Structure formats: structure tokens, C-alpha cells
Amino acid sequence: LGLDPRTILWKRVMDMNDRALRNITIGLGGTAHGIPRETGFNITPASEVMAILCMSSSMEDLKTRLGNILVGYRFDKTPVFARDLNAAGAMAILLKDAIKPNLVQTLEGNPAILHGGPFANIAQGTNTIIATKMGLALADYAVTEAGFGADLGAEKFMHLKCVAGDLSPAAVVVVATIRALRHHGGISKEALSQPNAEAVAAGFANLQKHIENMQLLGLRPVVAINAFPNDTDQEVQLVQQRCLEMGVEAVVARGFANGGQGMQDLARAVVAAAEQAQPWKPLLEAGWPIRQKIETLATQYYGASGVDYTPEADRALARLNQINLGNLPVCMAKTEKSFSDNADLRGRPEGFRLTVRDVEVAAGAGFAIPILGTLMRMPGLPAVPAAEGMSIDGNGKISGLS
């Protein structure tokens, strides 16, 4: 095939947090033991296969997407896809059971479908299209989740999953906590448990931008205030009042304390919202080049004043253009702690510039991944291994697990 081993993008995965496997040299020891090259391990949820499984609408689609994985480049710079290795069929066979959703139940006996878990940082962070469609087919209401804040989770849910699966949500819930609003209002970690209406008022700017973003997509969200013991009425009412001024209902959700009972108010508000459902409006057009998609999200959705590209990112974009992947959807890889790419900029930052450090590609999943920071695909373990304190006695009684 002429595959240049130095260009292989595909990494092995393992479900073990083993930092020493992040960067390795393999194929050493002579001609019987492979070709020497640099690579590394990721953990399983960071695998493009996970992202693909969740983006697939059928076994046929799964096979096509697996075949579309970009493996690397030939010495003549042309791309090699998994289909060129005749690997897609065997990969699909390995996934023949994995593609089927799993039905479980909640503590209160409600049915729940668990299916797929791609990382929210470098992938779409939401479950399979197949499971969502199965839920919609089986029940009056199907509720699903999108990982991280609405700047990442909701945006990717809409522009990636809903576009690929031809879905449109009847209602959207933005989850907030008084504690997080205090944080966005400038309160330090130590003081976050103390009531502070002033900080909540300041921090509301963050929630406000999330609500505006939902409205930008043509959605009318319900805000769920996830209740904590030290929330004060004053703080909660402040948030509800401000939401109301934006035309949005904010409901206290007491599921953690009271189970289904505590969620009834929220459920009623969501049902009401769903009855007024409107089709959503994408912010990004499919035909746009990747840069335009990035810049539109950066300025309109995150509030940045502009976007800078490192030379690596420029080169990556040029390479994607050369192999006709220059108009892929984008799956932004940005910190979940700020609208910006700086985790310390809380609230609703403005005037900042985003730096695109690199652009990776998940051609099988069907998106480009602009990298706006340092991302971990193989977590580490604590300095003192938790294993140290664990034991099991002769009767099988385990101690030391916390």
C-alpha cells in the first residue's frame, strides 16, 4: 500500500489509565516484530470507533463510516482509509452486538436505554443515534443528554447528531446550579458553598449567554435549577426572575433529593415547551469551509472577537482540503470551563481571541476536530495509587475501596 508508517494517525486503545502508554515507540526488535514507529494508546471512549458507533444510523452506515476512517498517508502524500485496508467488514463484525441498544431501568422502574459514550472533549459527547431513535419510537417522550455545557454539548448535539440523524428536539433543558453561578460570579472555590446573591446576579451573565445561544438555534429552552441544600430562595428567585425577563421558564429540580417526585415541576414545564416545538435552525451551513464554521461558532456562539491559527493548524487545514475533506462539520475541542479557550475566563468573557492549535479529523465519524487546548485521551492515576490501600480477605470481603 505504500503507507508511510510515520503518518499513521490510528492509535490503539485500552481501558486502563496508564499514562506511560501515551507516547510509545513500537515495532522494535527486528524484522519479525513489525515496523518501528511512534504511536500511543488512548482510552476506549476516545477511540473514533466509539464516535462512529454513536453517529451510525444502521449497520450499513456503520460499515461505511468504519471504512472512512483516515488511517494515514502514503509516501506520495495520498490518504489511506480503513476501506483501503479491507478492514471495515471485520471491524463491523466485532461491533455486531455493540450496535444494539441496552435496555435498563431506573430505581423507580422507568425504562432507560444506555448506548455509547464518546468523549465530550474530542468527540460529540452524546449517545447513539440508534438509541435515541429507538427511544422516540417506543415512548411518548424520549429524554437524552449532551455532555458538558450548552456551548459544547448542545451545539454538537444539534450540528452533529441532529443533522446526521435528521432529528429535531421538541424541547431543550439547560441545567444550571446556584453554585456554578456563584463561581461564574467570581467566587473562589473555598467560598462556593456560601449564599451570595450578588455573585449569582453577576454569574447569571454566563447562563444568559447559554440561553441566548439556544435561542440563536431557534430553540426555546427550559432552565432546570439543580437544587443544592445551601441554595437560598433569594438566589433562586433572582435566577427565575432574570430568566423570565428573557422569556424562559426556570424550574427547581429536586431529583437528587426526592427522585421522580422532585422532578415533576420540571417535567410539566418541559411537556409544555414540547407542545410549542418549532424546528431548529442550524447556525452553520454544511457547505461552508471549516474555517468559516470555526469562526462563526467563535464569534457568534462563544463571543470571541476573532480566531488565530497556529502554523500546525494551517497545515492541517491545507491537508484536509487536499484530500477533499475541507468542508467537514466541526466538533470543537475546547475547555468546558469557559466560553473561551482559557479555563480561567469565567462569566461571559468578551473581546478574547481563540487559538486553533491543530485540526484533527475523524473522517469516519464525519467531522473535523479543531483543537483549542491540551486534551487528555489517556488519563493518569494519582501519585499514590488507590490500589495501595485495597485488600480482600479469605472470605472474599473487600476493604479499601472508597
Choice between 28 and 257, CB closer to a second copy: 28
**322 in contact with a second copy (CB under 8 A):** no
CB of 350 to a second copy, least distance (A): 18
Choice between 190 and 397, CB closer to a second copy: 397
**272 in contact with a second copy (CB under 8 A):** no
Choice between 96 and 281, CB closer to a second copy: 96
Which of 3, 7, 274, 336 binds a second copy (CB under 8 A)? It is 7
**38 in contact with a second copy (CB under 8 A):** yes
Q: What is the SS3 string spanning the chain? A: CCECHHHCCCCEECCCCCHHHCCEEECCCCHHHCCCEEECEECHHHCHHHHHHHHCCCHHHHHHHHHCCEEEEECCCCEEEHHHHCCHHHHHHHCCCCCCCEEEECCCCCEEEECCCCCCCCCCCECCHHHHHHHHHHCCCCCCCECCCCCCHHHHHHHHHHHHHCCCCCCCEEEECHHHHHHHCCCCHHHCCCCCHHHHHHHHHHHHHHHHHHHHCCCCCEEEEECCCCCCHHHHHHHHHHHHHCCCCEEEECHHHHHHHHHHHHHHHHHHHHHCCCCCCCCCCCCCCHHHHHHHHHHHHHCCCEEEECHHHHHHHHHHHHCCCCCCCECCECCCCCCCCCCCCCCCCCCCEEEECEEEEECCCCEEEEECCCCCCCCCCCCCCHHHHCEECCCCCEECCC
Choice between 28 and 139, CB closer to a second copy: 28
Kindly determine how many residues on this chain lie close enough to bind a second copy according to the rule CB under 8 A. 59
Which of 17, 35, 111, 241 binds a second copy (CB under 8 A)? It is 35
**259 in contact with a second copy (CB under 8 A):** no
Site for a second copy in 86-145 (CB under 8 A): 86-87, 89-93, 96
Site for a second copy in 200-239 (CB under 8 A): none
Binding pattern to a second copy, positions 336-375, x when CB under 8 A?
A: --------------------------------------x-
**244 in contact with a second copy (CB under 8 A):** no
Give residues in contact with a second copy (CB under 8 A): 4-7, 12, 14, 18-38, 58-60, 63, 85-87, 89-93, 96, 308, 311, 374, 380, 385-396, 398, 400-401
